[in-house]
Amino acid sequence: MTPTPSRYSSVHIMASSLSVQHCFDIILHIVRATPGDLVLHYDIITGLVAVWWWPLDERGVPIAPPLLEQYRQSHDILWPCCFCAVGGDYEESVIALQFSGHYRGYYTATCADPEGGCGYEVCLERPFRFRSRTRHYPLRPVTAELPDADAHEQLTQARTSESVVASPGLEQ
């Protein structure tokens, strides 16, 4: 009897024949279509897609999307990493309120490249409401500065001209 290939082996064979760009497109589709309680991002240590844990305040209440930047001022937290980081350093996404497009009126984490970069874009409203993947982040040392504060400010200004407004407190 001839063995029947499993669906996993056929997926593996198919995936090995795809271009890198097509694989990224598939991964981005999976990230965007993930159930509402998860924010997926690129993990530079494992090289895999991983869960980004939603921050909690000291009482265990999830931080609302408009307050994330304020939370970041006092806590040691990085925004989700976009796929521009593949093979390189951690690339934080930008958290912003969208005024146009598919996520109009919602906060999203998007690729930090003003030209669109890898295309990473995740709506943050549903994961905030579902509240299943959360954690407490440590307080930021008093002398510590925000990572890439200047880069975030420049990107915010660039994005504002594209009808995107950054979360409150992003301007330093």
Q: For 45-102, how does the pLDDT look when each residue is reduced to its tens digit (9 = 90+)? A: 888 888 899 999 999 999 999 999 999 999 999 999 998 888 889 999 999 999 998 8
The answer to the question of residue 4 being in a domain is no
pLDDT at 43 over 50: yes
Averaged pLDDT score across all residues of the chain: 73
142 found inside a domain: yes
Indicate if the pLDDT at residue 26 is higher than 90.
Answer: no
pTM of the model as a whole? 0.65
Q: What is the pLDDT of residue 17?
A: 44
Q: What percent of the chain has pLDDT over 70?
A: 60
The two three-digit tokens of residue 171, written as one number: 């301007």
Q: Report yes or no on 1 lying in a domain.
A: no
On whether residue 59 sits in a domain, the answer given is: yes
- Answer whether residue 48 is part of any domain: yes
> Which residues, in sequence order, are CB contacts of 25 under 8 Å at separation 6+?
119
pLDDT at 15: 39
Number of domains in the chain: 1
Instruction: Kindly state whether residue 76 falls inside one of the protein's structural domains.
Output: yes
In a domain, 15, yes or no: no
Q: What is the pLDDT of residues 101-124, one digit of tens each?
A: 888 999 999 998 888 688 888 889
Query: Exposed e or buried b for every residue in 122-152, given b needs 16+ CB within 10 A?
Result: bbbeebbeeeeebeebeeeeeeeebeeeeeb
Q: Is the dihedral of CA 149, 151, 154, 155 positive or negative?
A: negative
Domain span holding position 124: 21-166
SS3 of residue 115 by DSSP? coil
Q: Are strands 121-123 and 48-52 parallel, antiparallel or unpaired?
A: unpaired
* pLDDT tens profile 142-167: 765 656 555 555 554 544 444 344 44
pLDDT interval class at 16 (50, 70, 90) = very low
Using 50, 70 and 90 to split pLDDT, how confident is the model at 168? very low
Of the candidates 82, 5, 75, 13, which has an alpha carbon nearest to the alpha carbon of residue 41?
82
Contact, 27 vs 42, CB < 8 A?
Answer: no
